[in-house]
Structure 1
Amino acid sequence: MKRLAVLSSFTAIVISIIGQLRGMLDDSYAVGNAWFVGVLAGLITLLIFNDSQEMTKSYIISSSTILGILGVGFLYFPAALINILIAFKLTKKKREGNFLIRKEKMW
């Protein structure tokens, strides 16, 4: 999952900067600099390394995906797809963790 998070943040940052340099993202596209919002969303993805709870990690990934799509638009979709894969892995971990806790309580 760490590799996916780094790949997602790197993809978001690079795509946002390239979109700004090539003129695909313009200041009239969104309020402020749209490329900066994409870079910020990529950096937010890296915050999942600091937290240990899966629920908080899923909120961070969700907010990063939403912020990136709102800021950069269709250019953010490769990074958003990677974020969705990370979210699926987090929900799988959360379900496995809850199952193990319930199983231990039964015995």
Structure 2
Amino acid sequence: MKSLTFLSSFTAVGISIFGQLIGVLDDSYAVGNAWFAGVLAGLITLLILIDSQVMTKCYIIIVSTILGTLGVGFLYLPAAIINIFISIKLDKKKKEEDLN
């Protein structure tokens, strides 16, 4: 799961910066810097590496996906898909913990 987390985070940060550099994320239609929300969402994803409860990690992934999608829009799709895979793994881990 660490590799998926790093992949999601770097994808989100990279896509957000790339979108700003090529001019897809123009600040004229958004309040503030839209690309910054994508970068922040990518950095929030790294918070699941901290040892905490599985449910907290699920909430962090959900917040990251929503923030990234609101900030960057359709460019955030690859990172959002990776976040979905992370959520599936966390759900399986939660079910295993419930059985024990």
Fold conserved (TM > 0.5)?
yes
Gaps of 5+ in 1: 101-107
Distance in 2 of aligned mates of 1:28 and 1:17: 17
Gaps of 5+ in 2: none
Match of 1:97 in 2: 97
68-77 or 50-59, larger mean C-alpha shift: 50-59
Q: RMSD of the TM alignment (CA)?
A: 0.7
Aligned-partner residue type, residue 8 of structure 2? S
Match of 1:26 in 2: 26
Identity of aligned residues (%): 73
Question: How much does 1:51 deviate?
Answer: 3.3
Distance in 2 of aligned mates of 1:88 and 1:29: 34
Distance in 2 of aligned mates of 1:29 and 1:43: 24
Question: How much does 1:11 deviate?
Answer: 0.2
Match of 1:105 in 2: none
Write the mapping of 1:1-107 to structure 2, written as runs, cut at 5 A: 1-100=1-100
How many aligned positions are there? 100
Question: How much does 1:5 deviate?
Answer: 0.3
Deviations 1:24-49 (A, max 9, x none): 00112321101100000000000001
Deviating 4+ runs (over 4 angstroms): none
Contact map agreement 1:51 1:57 (CA 8 A) in 2: no
Secondary structure, in 3 states, of the residue corresponding to 2:51?
Answer: coil
Secondary structure, in 3 states, of the residue corresponding to 1:63?
Answer: helix
Q: Over alpha carbons, which structure has the higher Rg?
A: 1
Aligned-partner residue type, residue 29 of structure 2? Y
